[in-house]
Structures are given as C-alpha cells and as structure tokens.
Amino acid sequence: MRQKIVAGNWKMNTTPMEGVELAKAVVAGSRNVDKSVNFIVAPPFTHLSEVMKVTRGTGVAVSAQNCAAEAKGAYTGEVSAAMIASLGVEYVILGHSERREYYGETSETLNKKLEQAYANNLIPIYCIGEKLEEREAGKHFDVVRSQIEEVVFNLDTDRFAKLVIAYEPVWAIGTGKTATAEQAQEIHAYIRGVLREKFGDAANDTVILYGGSCNPSNAAELFSKEDVDGGLIGGASLKADDFIAIGESY
C-alpha cells in the first residue's frame, strides 16, 4: 500500500500570524480524518519555525517550498536545506513550475537542490508537468519523461525510495481547469512506468501526487484512480475547511 498524502502549498500567501492560525485549524481538522491520510503544510520560510511549534507531535508534517542549491556561504537571500531541516521540517517542494518558469530553475539546478535536500534528510516533493502548448502538441509524455530522466534517474535506490513526485500540469495550476481523472491516471501510470524502467518494482511504492486546481469537489474522483496517491493543493489549501475536506474525500 502506498502512502496517501495531501499537501498544501501556501505559496507566497499569509502573514506568519495568519499561517499559524491556518496550521492550527489544519491540525484540529486533521484529527477527524482517517489516519491513513498524511497531511503536509508548506508555508513560506518566514513561517516555518512558528508553524513547527503548532504541528510538532501531531499528524501534520511541514514542508518548505524551496531550498538553496548550495550548502552555505555567500548566497544572499538564499535559505539552505540545513537551515530548514534544523527546524524539524521533513519535506521540501522542489522544481515547482513557478520556480522553473519565474526563477529559471533547470534540471541542473534541481539536481543540486535534491542533493542538498537528501544530504540534510529532507524528503523532496519533486514537481513535474507540461505547459498548455506542450499538451496541445501531444508532447506531455516526453516533457515529464525528460524531467524525470534528467533528475530522478540520477538518484541511487535508497534516495529514490524516499522521493515523492507531484505531477502538476501547468495549464491546471491556479486556473480552475483541472485535469480529468482519466487524464491524471493516464499520465501518472506513464510516470510510474518511466520510473520502473530505471528502478524496477521500487516504483510501485513511489507516491505520485496530482496538483492543479484540486478542490473538495474534484478530489474524490482524482484520488479514486489507481496511480494517483494524493494531491499537492495550492489555492484550496489556504482555507483549512477545504483542505481538510480534500483529505476527507480520500
């Protein structure tokens, strides 16, 4: 049985105080949800320390949204994986399409970031997914294959066993246009197949999340699909009730 994960990517939203309130509400709501569902919240860096105080010892885990590609030193404005891990944070989202698009993150950068994450015992949630024009040109399978081959294929089997993947079609992020459950299943199964080429049966245990306009009304159908192991939730994770309802729909 693969782990079920519902992760909330808060992006650049909420003040630290609002974030603490949101985390408290998620912790409270999660108590009524089946224990098989693992909730993760991913606040901005500035909130991590205070949010950890709220979530420590509860079933809710915490993720950062990014980490530096280097270990330490003269990199103004960067936050290292070691700094994040020292707070007790367990996960880090890497390669989100917004990072790839607005901050020029390439596979080369992401290989370094994954190295930093693993070296500091953070579990990467590695995001992949195609843009609208790539889907329309029928290139979506090739795009996710490259994003996997150029980064995930560099991992050894121990590291691969810990990896979480999030498939997020860029055309579905923040647009209200969700992939259909059939589209999600089709590409999740493809992704697992690509992983199997390199890692064999270990790929059967890889958690592959769906992300992109996932909400309480479409989550149940998406999560019912065999290769969809949960969701990476943006907008709907900013309202605790909606976020919890997504977890409940599993």
**Which residues are catalytically annotated?**
96, 168
The residues, ordered by sequence, that sit 6+ positions from 35 with a Cβ below 8 Å of its Cβ are: 59
Q: How many Cβ atoms from other residues are within 10 Å of residue 4's Cβ?
A: 19
3 state DSSP class of 4: strand
Cα distance between residue 193 and residue 197, in whole Å:
6
For residue 232 the two structure tokens come to 């990476």
Cα distance between residue 235 and residue 8, in whole Å:
8
DSSP 95-158: S-HHHHHHS---HHHHHHHHHHHHHTTPEEEEEE---HHHHHTT-HHHHHHHHHHTTGGGS-HH
Q: State the number of binding residues for ligand PGA (CB under 6 A).
A: 13
- Helices and strands, number each (H, E), in the chain: 11, 8
Nearer to ligand PGA by Cβ, of 206 and 218: the residue is: 218
User: Contact letters (x/-) for ligand PGA, 123-162, by CB under 6 A?
Assistant: ----------------------------------------
232 binds ligand PGA (CB under 6 A): yes
Residues 156-215 that bind ligand PGA (CB under 6 A): 168, 173-174, 211-214
CB of 161 to ligand PGA, least distance (A): 23
Q: How many Cβ atoms from other residues are within 10 Å of residue 178's Cβ?
A: 21
65 binds ligand PGA (CB under 6 A): no
Nearer to ligand PGA by Cβ, of 163 and 199: the residue is: 163
Nearer to ligand PGA by Cβ, of 40 and 199: the residue is: 40
Q: Contact region for ligand PGA (CB under 6 A) — 31-39, 136-144, 185-193, 232-240?
A: 232-240
Q: Contact region for ligand PGA (CB under 6 A) — 109-117, 133-141, 183-191, 230-238?
A: 230-238
Residues 2-61 that bind ligand PGA (CB under 6 A): 9
Interface positions with ligand PGA (CB under 6 A): 9, 168, 173-174, 211-214, 232-236
